[in-house]
């Protein structure tokens, strides 16, 4: 099983500031890495796939980078609607696994 | 509109069974692989099972293998999850989720709204 580890668990950011979220895989997943956003009471939403490709309709302030075992999700200028929990997921293996999530909260 | 709608959740006693269903609309169901993903109360996401478009490959997380069975009916555009020998730690919201293609290694691009399964005596 590929273990996905996200850091930090909670990120306190002021609106308009940059947020940087990290995701590490226990072994290489190439670029088969996705990021999802989940707001309270809602289903997750795909933000990024292939480590760096934005999904349809995702604002340009969201960007993903990395390959192999180290990945980053950057939100360039946080808007009020961006405060949520973010999960990474690898899909390089049939046993696809999620990270434990990073909660982005208002500072 | 692309949509996934789950049903079948509810309260069940430990050791009992439940069958979840997912009705798909707005796209050609048979072209895509599907997943079930669950989320225990206040916890993160856990992938549970997947089935590819050709109905040839089914995968399960270790904790449910042998107890849960994923299936699909392309003619009805529906996905099911038969859950047997349920345990308290199966309590979660279960999401039906579409993969972006019909293969085995693709991201999830569409999620249903989820259905709550509670296992308790």
Tokens representing residue B34 in the block:
């599907």
> Which residues lie below 8 Å from residue B48, measured CB to CB, with a gap of 6+?
B35, B36, B37, B38, B60, B61, B64, B68, B81, B94
Closest by Cα among A20, A38, A23 to A90: A23
Q: pLDDT by residue for chain B (121 residues), tens digit each?
A: 999 999 999 999 999 999 999 999 999 999 999 999 999 999 999 999 999 988 889 999 999 999 999 999 999 999 999 999 999 999 999 999 999 887 778 999 999 999 999 999 9
Pairing, β A85-90 against β A70-75: unpaired
Per residue in B36-54, pLDDT (tens digit) is 999 999 999 999 999 998 8
φ and ψ at residue B83, rounded to 5 degrees:
-115, 115
* A94 contacts B57? CB cut-off 8 A: yes
Interface of A with B (CB under 8 A): 32, 34, 36, 38, 43-46, 49-50, 55, 87, 89, 91-101
Instruction: Compute the nearest-CA separation of A87 from chain B (Å).
Output: 8
> Which residues lie below 8 Å from residue B21, measured CB to CB, with a gap of 6+?
B6, B7, B8, B78, B79, B80
Contact in structure between B1 and B108 (CB atoms under 8 Å): no
Report the alpha-carbon distance of residue A70 to residue B55 in Å, rounded: 33
């Amino acid at each position: 099983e590929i273990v996905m580890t996200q850091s930090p668990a909670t990120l306190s950011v002021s609106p308009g500031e940059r947020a940087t979220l990290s995701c590490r895989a226990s072994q290489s997943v190439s670029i088969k890495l996705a990021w999802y956003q989940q707001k309270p009471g809602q289903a997750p939403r795909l933000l990024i796939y292939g480590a760096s490709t934005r999904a349809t309709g995702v604002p340009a302030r969201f960007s993903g980078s990395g390959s192999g075992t180290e990945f980053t999700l950057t939100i360039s200028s946080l808007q009020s609607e961006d405060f949520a929990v973010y999960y990474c997921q690898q899909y390089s293996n049939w046993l696809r696994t999620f990270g434990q999530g990073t909660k982005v909260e208002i500072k | 509109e692309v949509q996934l709608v789950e049903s079948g959740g509810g309260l069940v006693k430990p050791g009992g069974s439940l069958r979840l269903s997912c009705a798909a609309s707005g796209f050609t169901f048979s072209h895509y692989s599907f997943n079930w993903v669950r989320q225990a109360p206040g916890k993160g996401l856990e992938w549970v099972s997947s089935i590819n478009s050709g109905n040839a490959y089914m995968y399960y997380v270790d904790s449910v293998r042998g107890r849960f069975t994923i299936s699909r009916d392309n003619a009805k555009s529906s996905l099911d999850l038969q859950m047997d020998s349920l345990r308290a730690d199966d309590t979660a919201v279960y999401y039906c989720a579409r993969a972006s293609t019909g293969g085995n290694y693709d991201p999830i691009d569409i999620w249903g709204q989820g259905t709550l399964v509670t296992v308790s005596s």
